[in-house]
Structure 1
């Protein structure tokens, strides 16, 4: 060994101590060797000096080696211990190792080779144990730190959740409070524009018309915030009833046609439904379509916008809105469905809006048990496909109606409304695809 080792021999027999000293010297061990004859002197020496290894005679005059080992361990004195035994003490040596000794060697087998080999082995085992213990302590510390961080994260998440709920309640309350005066502004503007009520000059009528249009726009934004707040806190329920889906689609298209005409866009409707009757919330279906059409018109400078209704197997149907607008990059497919998220987040963005429209559409479609599929290419256009069950489940429906569908899609009364729908995902081919 190249390093100088501090060694301690504890043995009451001077001849045995000399044999150990000679064997270590002949074995080429560089050492500082100390010798004591009893356990008291050994314990005192260990309290004042750090040794690299101890050779301990099991049979000592004042106390045996087992007692000394227990005393050392209870005092948290850590050092490799090699027990020196007489013949017939092998079983006792095993007990000593269980108590904390590192190794043992019979005095009859002491030789330079055996003693140096046991010494190297004891030190190597001890250092490995110390490294393992240190690694375990570090691991425990890291686990404690991680547990503390996890507790802090949980506390932060709780605070964030509480803040989000407070924000949602605040937005819902403020949106509701703002709708009342906004409805009054819209109502009085409409009254002022009636020919029988007042004779306005062309300039005055133009100003009132601007007030009315901006009021409607602001009311639409407030309604979006209110709906989103209700969705966040789980207070928005679907009010389902039986209705003609094609009529709702035509009503929504009719409301948006003037905006399309203002940009010289063609707005086409194609219905391929054998049975147009559905069981859903007509107001929310119309809201979904108005949001999709509004986006299509907003982001389309020229060309056409199509609305299609198609049948699907298993009493499902699909609403498709396609446009020839600016398109959406594939990297932004997921982002556009996030609340308050817009592809262009700059203050000087060309297309205004709250960024809630598609988030609300996504939430409503999920509530109805449906799926949204998106296909788009930059500069070519976008297509939104919404697959819905012909009859929505009654989990989130505020209604007492007891209506179900037979295998042919015909409504009939039932005590247990049919609540299952096809979960198969059908992805269209063409543009880059995205489904949520």
Structure 2
């Protein structure tokens, strides 16, 4: 990414040290700027960003550690190398804590200077390339979402409406064979739309957006909202849903909309992959720093060999009973992504043939943050 000659700024109160660095680095095609103090060096960087800064540790007015801290605040991508005649572990650690990449003890040879600078410039090049790739990936994802929304989902939704019109008989009487063919086509089309909607949800989940919407949420109300629309599926399969929430349960720190989607997904799966006349239990309890929510079913269960893969995108398991049911294989991946954005964790315990328990651990409002289920 560094098409132009790399630019190095040398900040040192000793003129002979500055000149020596420029003489060595200029021979390598490096553009070198000199500054006799930390203040002047920072002024130069504010006007003209550089790739790497060599800064002396001991200088009047402002030492190298403070200069490194301010450079890191100005642009954390600039590589900082501390030059010191007091090369102790303590000084190196102090500089690293303020954003320095490496340090060079005085006196140093031209070769030692070149090794450190080359290494730092290589890091800078890789960082810039990585940033460019991330920006390109983000642009591709944005374009993908726009394309899917406008060029795929919209026309498919219109086609689905035409199927509904035909099946209602508005376009004329249908034979039994025609009706059966249209119903099958409609089911396939509905499945495709569900896949598109799930993939759009996956693409749109942004951790920063969720974090900005976190607020104290009553879990009971969130569960009630998640259950809406699932009662019919439970009745159709003769599955009982039991909710067991203690009255003194603390509020959770959550984004209500996305966390409701997590609960709805887990409860829906517990119904879908349950046996007839089975049971789904939704319970919760306080845990250190947070709240644990468990969704337990009496369904198929998951083989131990498959547990490491169930949160992967599009993974649906090898059980023929699972594969016979409609699904996109994205629901658990979406749920895990949302839970992680909450700073929590989602895990599973399962026994083949006896059922599964999916557990979500999130922070309690006003409590410590939960990461990977620990304080």
Q: Taking structure 2 as the reference length, what is the TM-score of the superposition?
A: 0.52
Say if 1:305 and 1:321, in contact at 8 Å, map to a contact too.
no
For residue 281 of structure 1, report the CA deviation from its aligned partner: 6.0
Matched, 1:357 2:348: no
Say if 1:252 and 1:286, in contact at 8 Å, map to a contact too.
no
Root-mean-square deviation (CA, aligned residues, Å) is 4.7
Q: 1:152 aligns with which of 112, 125, 140?
A: 125
Matched, 1:247 2:224: yes
For residue 270 of structure 1, report the CA deviation from its aligned partner: 1.3
Q: 2:284 aligns with which of 310, 315, 319?
A: 310
For residues 97-112 of structure 1, the aligned pairs below 5 Å read none
Aligned to 2:134: 161
Tell me which moved more, 227-236 or 293-302. 293-302
Q: Unpaired segments of 5 or more residues in structure 1?
A: 1-134, 391-419, 427-433
Aligned to 2:194: 220
For residues 379-394 of structure 1, the aligned pairs below 5 Å read 379=352, 381-388=355-362
For residue 157 of structure 1, report the CA deviation from its aligned partner: 0.9
**CA–CA distance in structure 2, aligned partners of residues 196 and 277 of structure 1:** 54
For residue 307 of structure 1, report the CA deviation from its aligned partner: 3.5
* 3-state DSSP of counterpart to 1:244: helix
**CA–CA distance in structure 1, aligned partners of residues 117 and 256 of structure 2:** 55
Residues 150-208 of structure 1, C-alpha deviations (whole Å, 9 max, x = no match): 23321331132022201220221022112212222222323333367753322222222
For residue 389 of structure 1, report the CA deviation from its aligned partner: 6.3
**Computing the radius of gyration over CA atoms, which structure comes out larger, 1 or 2?**
1
Matched, 1:327 2:302: yes
* 3-state DSSP of counterpart to 1:184: helix
Matched, 1:423 2:368: yes
Q: 1:268 aligns with which of 233, 240, 249?
A: 240
Q: Unpaired segments of 5 or more residues in structure 2?
A: 1-107
**CA–CA distance in structure 1, aligned partners of residues 189 and 197 of structure 2:** 12
**CA–CA distance in structure 2, aligned partners of residues 325 and 145 of structure 1:** 58
For residues 112-127 of structure 1, the aligned pairs below 5 Å read none
The number of aligned residues is 256
* 3-state DSSP of counterpart to 1:150: helix
Relative contact order (alpha carbons < 8 A, sep ≥ 6): 1 or 2 greater?
2
**CA–CA distance in structure 2, aligned partners of residues 381 and 140 of structure 1:** 63
For residues 145-224 of structure 1, the aligned pairs below 5 Å read 145-177=118-150, 178-194=152-168, 198-224=172-198
Say if 1:248 and 1:286, in contact at 8 Å, map to a contact too.
yes
